[in-house]
Amino acid sequence: MPVKFRPSEHTQISSPLPDMEDQEHVLEIDQNAWDSDILISLCQAALAERIDPLFSTYYFDESVTEQSGIIFVQATSPILDIWASDLAFGLEPEMMRESTIRMVEAVEPDEDSFDLDMLASIATSLAQVHRFSIQHDLGIVEQMTDEYINYLASLPKEPSLLDLHEAAIEVCRILGLPEPELSISETKSAYWKIPVDIVECLREK
């Protein structure tokens, strides 16, 4: 499947559902993106073709609110990044190790200084250190490793759509978010459904 490139403020890939007219991946690239970010996006596209479009792109039921969708993406996108990283490390191990170390070294443990947009990348990098046994003097890794990071690091190596659903459920459980459902449309396309509004759920807590 072809890949179309376009400039953007964020690096991300979008993959089409089987019944969509345009059958091409769209890779949006931030001008400051690292080569490793682009490689991971391309690996997500490969998983989307090999397994399901949900391995690179979020498709939601129309009942899911925008804010709930954003929170769900922030919580679960490291799952997609980890599985894409498995491919990326196989292709460019040195580049991926160097970029992981560089990301972790830039992390400040003071939560007040966190950029929310960076939390998913930080979680992915911390999990990568454990998953790929990256040897480096990174005290921040031990300091910030928790149940969420350990779970990401232990994801199965050969994922399926069922594994993706189970991983999303477990991540949401760990983070105190409502359990997502995986639905199949009449055209056999998978999409996410969140029965409870995440924002309202968090307010009640």
Tokens linked to 35: 């080569």
What confidence tier does 159 reach under pLDDT thresholds 50, 70, 90? very high
Find out whether 36 and 96 touch, Cβ atoms under 8 Å.
yes
pLDDT score, position 113: 45
**Single-letter code of the amino acid located at 161:** L
Question: What mean pLDDT do residues 125-133 have?
Answer: 91
* Mean pLDDT along residues 143-153: 89
| pLDDT > 60? residue 182 | yes
Supply the pLDDT for residue 142.
76
Q: How far is CA 38 from the centre of its chain?
A: 14
**What would the mean pLDDT of 178-192 be, rounded to a whole number?**
93
Tell me what the mean pLDDT of segment 137-148 comes to: 78
Q: Quote the CA–CA distance of 104 and 173 in Å, as a whole number.
A: 25
Predicted confidence (pLDDT) at residue 185 exceeds the cutoff of 70: yes
Domain that holds residue 16: 3-204
- pLDDT band at 122; cut points 50, 70, 90: confident
Has residue 164 got a pLDDT over 90? Answer: yes
What is the number of domains present in the chain? 1
Least confident of 54-63, 182-191, 194-203: 194-203
Stretch 17-38: mean pLDDT, rounded? 90
